[in-house]
Structure 1
Amino acid sequence: MLTPRKVYWPAINLVGPGSVKFVGEEVKKLNLKKALLVTDKVLNQNGVVKQITDVLDQDGILYTIFDEVKPNPTTKNVHDGLAVFQKEACDFIISVGGGSPQDTGSAIGILVTNGGNIADYEGIGKSKNKSVPIVAISTTAGTAAEVTINYVITDESRKIKMIMVDPNCLATIAVNDPELMLKKPKGLTAATGLDALTHAIEGYTANGAFELSDAIAYKSIELIARYIEKAVENGSDLEARSGMGWGSFIAGLCYSNAGLGIVHSMAHQLGGEYDLPHGVANAMLLPYVMEFNMDACPQKFADVARALGVDTSSAATVEEAAQMAVDEVRRISKAVGIPPLRESAFRVEDVEKLAENALKDACTGANPKAVTKEDIIAIYMKAYNDAPVPVGAN
């Protein structure tokens, strides 16, 4: 409690239905001239980007659209975007989408002010200069990349996800408008929602957790548990979308400051090796990692159970209450249609390489329990075989 903390989040946060309409006036206050609008082709073609460019046009904000971002953005995406930024004489970035456009926008912003290759910035705090201003507009309730100091880029040559933890990439303006999230497909809603739940649970139990992160993580878990199944079932339910939007937003504030854990370390390898969607990878692994970590902080996992809405009064011990959290996460994952790991592209013969890379991942250090390569292999295999990890496993 007496330890000083640095707490990071965007200077301006626009949250709630219709909040995107305030983007233009906030940009004008910053005297910015022309944006590189970073997004993907799906969002550009389905009308979501137009909802934003209509606002920009109304307020006289100039922009050029770069919509080449892949679901797991690559170094090529980043450098191609940087070339467009420079050619079009842009002076700020508007990133529109889920984690992929947000991460790409962050990476481009860092390269504009720092130069070099994006691989130069893998790790923690590698840049010297603050990014150009970024307006980060989220269209999914999942990654919360619009509010974090993290971004992830795939190195195509090594087939790994590079994790960058860097306060210099933090957005100037973050926008979380649930009206932009309406009518998203069930599968995307489920994957991004479980990604947000993973952020909240890992942030709550991480080594770096503290008073503020605990408070907001707990509320995030409550909101996601209350609304995720409703949002998946009815993509037009604005109340459910708003609840998920808030849950994702505050989970991002939590983990950006407290850290994550090996769910993310392991999921990053599945994304890098097999191009598996990040939220799905997290969801496949989350309950198994929770069981592995449970004996390191059983009271925290018992708290998670209660935040999930589970009645733990029948639990005879704190460990039993903690197990209820794992069981409820499994139930939610199944209810929203997350498949098991064995139904993905995962190959058993790759497990040693995946585990080695996961051990080196920037998220591993915040895990509440020390972990070895053998531990990670065991968790991958238990997830693959759909078998529970015994409490206290090493």
Structure 2
Amino acid sequence: MVANISFPRFLKLGPGAVESLGDVLTDLNVHRPLLVTDAFMVSNGSAERLLKIIAGAGKEGALFSGTVPDPTTESLHAGLDAAAAHDADAVIGFGGGSPMDTAKALAVLSKQGGEMRDYKAPRQYTGPALPIIAIPTTAGSGSEATQFTIITDVTSDEKMLCPGLSFLPIASIVDSELTASMPPRLTADTGVDALTHAIEAYVSKKANPISDGLALSAMRTIGRFLLRAYRDGSDTEAREAMMHASTQAGMAFSNASVCLVHGMSRPIGAHFHVAHGLSNAMLLPAVTAFSIPGARDRYAECARQLGAAERTDSDDIASARLIEFIDTLCADVEVPRPSTYGIDEPKWDSLIPLMAEQALASGSPGNNPVVPTADEIADLYRTVF
């Protein structure tokens, strides 16, 4: 199998890196960037800080702060209007996964047109797009390093995976200081999201030596630092380490793809408006247990990298300890089940056939070590509830 490896053209990494935004714009010959973010980043002054950096570099920036959690085809309309009104020559995605996903979608639609559903998997879009600069403020989605965006189609409640090199940021700025204000719940959800990215990239049928190295490194870091960051948000070493791990995991799954957890997670987010990282965390223990027989050696290595098993442990023992580790981690960071989160059981049960169909249609389950049937996915949805 030939592996296709793609990364951002360059990445600025480290505390205070966001101050280099002006240099990045100059290096890319960008003059009229649209800053794509959300109301929270405006309210805390972060958006204004970036606009001042942009202006200080002699560029004419504009602000679009209308992104929403789990962006939809409908929520893109105002952003497209803003990009057109500003005659933007680049987009800057600033925030968590949702602003970055929105920026990626605007970059493609502003240049190529059409509807977002035109770009969903299995299509791989590599055509014209505005340059994308990604600046994450959470340590989880890894979107700053991936060739994917996820947009919900309001007509079908389908969370569409839209892949292709045109969605890959040309530059990323990864500054751990931007995560300092993340509350414990968000730290946990995004941290488990990064862990899911690393595990799924490593066990994916599309894994390769480059993605393996990134995924394993991310797991080692997450095993050491996630709980520290969750328990003490002022732990700057843990914050920086989790930011690095998130970007590594993003690079890993961008080049190896994700698997069953993500395939099942997207419908939960679309139908019940559960944050992506949290729905991944709800699914991770059960889906991992289901999948281990297909790649026991790889799951065993995950356990060793996370510190859950010893080098001398057999694959059987190590893979079993991986499940124990994930269960304990989810308990420590208080991941709820769908039932305790407040999701209505009759509604959940009624949507299981559709969610199973949507999960399979995303293509991600086909990368899983054990490729499930629709009935097996339905059983897993019942198990996790």
Interval of TM-score (by shorter of Structure 1 and Structure 2): over 0.9
Residue matched to 1:358: 359
CA drift at 1:126: 4.4
Residue matched to 2:189: 191
CA drift at 1:330: 1.2
Residue matched to 2:337: 340
Q: Any stretches of 5+ residues in structure 2 without a counterpart?
A: none
Residue matched to 1:224: 222
CA drift at 1:50: 2.9
Question: Aligned partner of 2:119: which letter?
Answer: Y
Q: Does structure 2 retain, via aligned residues, the 8 Å contact 1:105–1:134?
A: yes
Q: Aligned to 2:149, which of 151, 169, 177? A: 151
Question: Aligned partner of 2:333: which letter?
Answer: V
Q: Aligned to 2:287, which of 289, 294, 297? A: 289
Q: Does structure 1 retain, via aligned residues, the 8 Å contact 2:125–2:163?
A: no
Q: Aligned to 1:113, which of 111, 114, 119? A: 111
Question: Aligned partner of 2:68: which letter?
Answer: K
Question: Aligned partner of 1:266: which letter?
Answer: M
Give the SS at the match of 1:116.
coil
Residue matched to 1:181: 179
Residues 230 and 134 from structure 1, CA distance in 2 versus in 1: closer, same or farther, beyond 3 angstroms? same
CA drift at 1:313: 6.1
Residues 349 and 283 from structure 1, CA distance in 2 versus in 1: closer, same or farther, beyond 3 angstroms? same
Q: Does structure 1 retain, via aligned residues, the 8 Å contact 2:67–2:98?
A: yes
Give the SS at the match of 2:109.
helix
Q: Structure 1 residue 367 and structure 2 residue 368: aligned?
A: yes
Aligned length: 381
Aligned ranges 1:16-35 → 2 under 5 Å: 16-35=14-33
What do residues 300-359 of structure 1 show as CA deviations (whole Å, max 9, x unaligned)? 1110111111233684x4222101111101111111121122223262222121111111
Distance (whole Å) between structure 2 residues aligned to residue 15 and residue 128 of structure 1: 26
Q: Aligned to 2:120, which of 119, 122, 130? A: 122
Distance (whole Å) between structure 2 residues aligned to residue 28 and residue 72 of structure 1: 31
Distance (whole Å) between structure 2 residues aligned to residue 225 and residue 131 of structure 1: 37
Q: Any stretches of 5+ residues in structure 1 without a counterpart?
A: 385-394
> Larger deviation: 102-111 or 347-356?
347-356
Give the SS at the match of 2:77.
helix
Distance (whole Å) between structure 1 residues aligned to residue 248 and residue 164 of structure 2: 19
Q: Aligned to 1:43, which of 26, 33, 41? A: 41
Q: Does structure 2 retain, via aligned residues, the 8 Å contact 1:151–1:163?
A: yes
Q: Does structure 1 retain, via aligned residues, the 8 Å contact 2:7–2:168?
A: yes
Q: Does structure 1 retain, via aligned residues, the 8 Å contact 2:126–2:164?
A: no
Q: Structure 1 residue 12 and structure 2 residue 22: aligned?
A: no
What do residues 131-178 of structure 1 show as CA deviations (whole Å, max 9, x unaligned)? 211111000000011110011001112111011111111111111110
Question: Aligned partner of 1:335: which letter?
Answer: D
CA drift at 1:128: 4.9
Question: Aligned partner of 2:82: which letter?
Answer: V
Distance (whole Å) between structure 1 residues aligned to residue 59 and residue 366 of structure 2: 42
> Larger deviation: 269-278 or 118-127?
118-127
Aligned ranges 1:32-181 → 2 under 5 Å: 32-181=30-179
Distance (whole Å) between structure 2 residues aligned to residue 162 and residue 179 of structure 1: 31
Distance (whole Å) between structure 2 residues aligned to residue 313 and residue 75 of structure 1: 48
Q: Structure 1 residue 263 and structure 2 residue 264: aligned?
A: no
Q: Does structure 1 retain, via aligned residues, the 8 Å contact 2:189–2:278?
A: yes
CA drift at 1:125: 3.7
Give the SS at the match of 1:252.
helix
Residue matched to 1:321: 318
Identity over aligned pairs, percent:
33
> Larger deviation: 127-136 or 85-94?
127-136
The TM-score with structure 2 as length reference comes to: 0.96
Q: Does structure 2 retain, via aligned residues, the 8 Å contact 1:114–1:127?
A: no
Residue matched to 1:245: 243
Q: Does structure 1 retain, via aligned residues, the 8 Å contact 2:142–2:250?
A: yes
Distance (whole Å) between structure 1 residues aligned to residue 150 and residue 363 of structure 2: 11
Question: Aligned partner of 1:378: which letter?
Answer: D
RMSD: 1.4
CA drift at 1:226: 0.9
> Larger deviation: 64-73 or 353-362?
353-362
CA drift at 1:78: 1.6
Q: Does structure 1 retain, via aligned residues, the 8 Å contact 2:36–2:67?
A: yes
Distance (whole Å) between structure 1 residues aligned to residue 56 and residue 165 of structure 2: 32
